[in-house]
Amino acid sequence: MQGAWGADNLSEFLEQAYRSQHGNREKYAAQYDVVARVNECFVKVGKNLVRPEPPLAGMLFLRAQYAFKTAVGLVLSGQCVDTFTVMRSCLEYAGYSLVIFDDPTASVVFASRHVDDASMKAQKVKFTVAEVKRTISKYDKKLCEVFDDMYNRSINFGGHPNPHGAFSMMELDEASKTIFTYAITTDPKVILHAFKSVAQVGLTALFILQHVFKAKFELLGVRADMDALRGAGL
């Protein structure tokens, strides 16, 4: 039978993460303000996606937005390794959206992934990271370089099991020769790095997606907001 909230290990952990989110929002107010501004760019466009073409490009825009929000939630909670996994998803959703915009026939390839083995192979080929980068490069070569940097960072710090991510939330107690691996960190260096990374990833995703919905980004003033964020050091 289900007990009171916080009475079992899982709900106790979730409660701790929730409390950390509130505390870190105040402690890192300046960093939170930046990610909130990035989020507002997503929201302005997302609320005005009316009959997007191709439809899947619009759906993937929203998935990128939701991945960004989730990444921010993980940073605030102090789950900094895990946030890089979601940052990778944010970038991939944005990249896939551009691939489908650039080649609308890719919508069928994407949607048919689980039809049979041949369809799965075709989907994997069409949506490789190399293909995403090739497509981004057609629109903006510098943006492709930024995407590559952000994508590799997301993998190195948590998107795949890697030393940078795993070791960033480990501690060696030399006296007892014990290694502690933390789910939630309070280390300012780790949290600040994750905060800046998630803001940069969100902005990178937006710059990719503005090629898909260029008129809407311009009409809503989102492109100007993005340029202001980039000028602020992102």
pLDDT at 81: 95
Quick one: what percent of the chain has pLDDT higher than 90? Answer: 84
Under DSSP, the state recorded for 52 is -
Residue 206 domain-assigned?
yes
Work out the average pLDDT over 121-141: 97
- Domains contained in the chain, number: 1
Q: How far apart are CA 118 and CA 124, in angstroms?
A: 10
Q: What's the pLDDT tens digit per position in 54-108?
A: 999 999 999 999 999 999 999 999 999 999 999 999 999 999 999 999 999 999 9
Contact at 8 Å (CB) between 109 and 143? no
For residue 111, the model assigns a pLDDT of 95
Question: Confidence band (pLDDT; 50, 70, 90) for 182?
Answer: confident
Whether 14 maps to a domain, the answer reads no
> Does residue 71 sit within a domain?
yes
Given a cut of 70, is residue 221 above it in pLDDT? yes
Q: How far apart are CA 192 and CA 139, in angstroms?
A: 31
Question: In angstroms, rounded to a whole number, what is the distance separating the alpha carbons of residues 103 and 150?
Answer: 24
Domain of 128, in residue numbers:
24-231
Condensed to tens digits (0 to 9), the pLDDT of residues 137-180 reads: 999 999 999 999 999 999 999 888 888 878 888 887 777 778 88
pLDDT of res. 1: 55
Instruction: Report whether pLDDT(209) > 90.
Output: yes
Mean pLDDT of 7-15: 95
pTM of full prediction above 0.85: yes
> Distance between CA 221 and CA 44 in Å, rounded?
9
**Higher local confidence (pLDDT), 165 or 6:** 6
Alpha-carbon distance values, 210 to 1, 76, 86, 137, 220 (Å): 49, 27, 21, 14, 11
Give me the pLDDT at residue 174, please: 78
Would 1 be classed as within a structural domain? no
Helix (H) or strand (E) holding 82: helix 80-102
Measured distance CA(234)–CA(228) in Å, rounded: 9
Residue 63 included in any domain: yes
Q: Is residue 37 included in any domain, yes or no?
A: yes
The reply to whether 17 falls in a domain is: no
- The pLDDT of residue 198 is above 90: yes
What is the pLDDT, as a whole number, of residue 214? 95
pLDDT of residue 234: 74
Q: Is residue 13 part of a domain?
A: no
Mean pLDDT value across the chain: 94
